[in-house]
């Protein structure tokens, strides 16, 4: 099993690389978009908390288009390699690059070409996976609080955010600060599926040729509608629907155990087994939660509803070869809340891995 670490954009530095390597990570998943840029969490310290739903969005999109150029991607890969980490995946497009793909707007054709160029660059840089989250509202309805063991700061959900999304904003980021006042009109679920079909139909052939897997994250939190917009993957069978649209080795899943466990009415281990049988997992967000949407909290890795040892056994049984990353964890009360939480999760993952390896 490959254990990796997820780096947010502000963490792409030698100090963070050393931390990940010291905690035993061998692989890297990288976010290139600084989600909170120019927003109210845009300061050191605050950035280490996951952003939660905010009426005005996390930050401004489209700040640094250079990060998607092939030279820049190759440079990043080399820096990680030098630090002992293999760059396995990039997670999430910049909303500035695909807002009209998500919204079915007038610039969609141009933006599809831009996304194709990005995927070609990712392939040329030798990065095998690109994680995406086809979502209009993005992460919404989450709240922070002392929800985890011992009063650790965590995030959770208690009810659905019904506020409309202002014009110029998508996926929790502002792509047009000059947009006319007003609100995004609600889309239907059928419209959203038409849009993802266009996206996959255009991008998958390019991804196949580039040797890149497009890996879909489910909607977090998984509820039918948030902020008056439909969700794509809010039940496990929606993952099947997405895979069935275009069977392809490049049509894969960013399998978020936490988000899947937040979905009511299914057995997570059976769901995992089903998608392992479909050979659809590109990589795994290995985290735990308690409860289901619309009322759940994120927990420490050993303190939620998911039997993580059983998950690890199942991954091993299917000879899963991808990467597991902690995704997010509660913050621990100390001078380095985020890193302590991450070190705890990574240590636990290594121990589970050692257990299942010893069993075989």
Q: Which residues contribute to the site for Mn ion (CB under 5 A)? A: 256, 285, 327
CB of 123 to Mn ion, least distance (A): 24
Could you tell me the smallest distance in angstroms from the CB atom of residue 157 to Mn ion? 14
Nearer to Mn ion, 94 or 327 (CB): 327
Q: Which residues contact 286 (CB under 8 A, 6 or more apart)?
A: 257, 301, 308, 311, 324, 325, 326, 327, 345, 349
Q: Which is nearer to Mn ion, 1 or 256 (CB)?
A: 256
Q: Which is nearer to Mn ion, 238 or 285 (CB)?
A: 285
Give me the residue whose beta carbon is nearest to Mn ion: 256
Cβ closer to Mn ion: 111 or 135? 135
Strands 27-30 and 2-7: parallel
Q: Residue 256 Cβ, how far from Mn ion at the closest point, in Å?
A: 3
What kind and span of H or E run contains 168? none
Q: How many CB atoms lie under 10 A from the CB of residue 316? A: 17
Closest to Mn ion by CB, 36 vs 288, is 288
Least spacing, CB of residue 235 vs Mn ion, in Å: 16
Which residue, among 317, 309, 297, has the nearest Cα to 348 in the 3D structure? 309
Q: Encoding tokens for residue 115?
A: 């996304």
Q: Which is nearer to Mn ion, 187 or 216 (CB)?
A: 216
Scored b (16 or more CB within 10 A) or e, 324-342 reads bbbbbbbbbeeeebbbbbb
Contact 203, 115 (CB under 8 A): yes
User: Smallest gap, in angstroms, from Cβ of residue 299 to Mn ion?
Assistant: 14
Tell me how far, at minimum, the Cβ of 268 lies from Mn ion, in Å.
14
Contact 346, 169 (CB under 8 A): no
The Cα-based distances of 345 to 112, 125, 214, 312, 350 in angstroms read: 37, 30, 26, 14, 9
């Amino acid at each position: 099993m490959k254990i990796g670490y997820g780096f947010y954009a502000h963490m792409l530095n030698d100090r963070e690389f050393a931390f990940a390597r010291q905690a035993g990570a061998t692989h890297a998943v990288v976010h290139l978009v600084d989600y909170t840029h120019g927003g109210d969490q845009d300061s050191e310290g605050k950035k280490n908390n996951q952003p939660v739903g905010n009426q005005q969005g996390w930050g401004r999109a489209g700040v640094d288009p250079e990060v998607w150029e092939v030279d820049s991607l190759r440079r990043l890969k080399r820096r990680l390699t030098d630090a002992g980490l293999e760059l396995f995946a990039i997670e999430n497009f910049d909303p500035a690059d695909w807002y009209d793909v998500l919204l079915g707007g007038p610039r969609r054709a141009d933006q599809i070409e831009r996304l194709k160029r990005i995927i070609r660059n990712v392939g040329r840089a030798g990065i095998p996976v690109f994680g995406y989250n086809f979502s209009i509202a993005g992460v919404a309805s989450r709240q922070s609080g002392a929800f985890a063991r011992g009063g650790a700061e965590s995030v959770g959900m208690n009810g659905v955010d019904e506020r409309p999304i202002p014009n110029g904003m998508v996926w929790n980021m502002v792509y047009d600060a000059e947009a006319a006042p007003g609100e995004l009109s609600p889309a239907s679920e059928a419209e959203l599926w038409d849009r993802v079909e266009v996206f996959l139909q255009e991008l998958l052939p390019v991804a196949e040729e580039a040797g890149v897997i497009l890996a879909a994250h489910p909607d977090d939190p998984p509820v039918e509608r948030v902020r008056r917009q439909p969700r794509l993957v809010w039940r496990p069978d929606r993952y099947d629907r997405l895979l069935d649209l275009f069977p392809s080795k490049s049509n894969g899943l960013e399998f978020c155990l936490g988000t899947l466990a937040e979905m009511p009415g299914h057995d997570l281990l059976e769901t995992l087994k089903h998608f392992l049988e479909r050979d659809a997992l590109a990589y795994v967000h290995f985290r735990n939660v308690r409860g289901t949407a619309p009322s759940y909290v994120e927990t420490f890795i050993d303190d939620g509803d998911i039997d993580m040892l059983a998950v690890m056994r199942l991954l091993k049984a299917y000879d899963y070869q991808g990467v597991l990353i902690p995704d997010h964890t509660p913050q621990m009360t100390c001078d380095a809340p985020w890193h302590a939480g991450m070190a705890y999760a990574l240590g636990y993952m290594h121990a589970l891995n050692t257990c299942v390896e010893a069993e075989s």
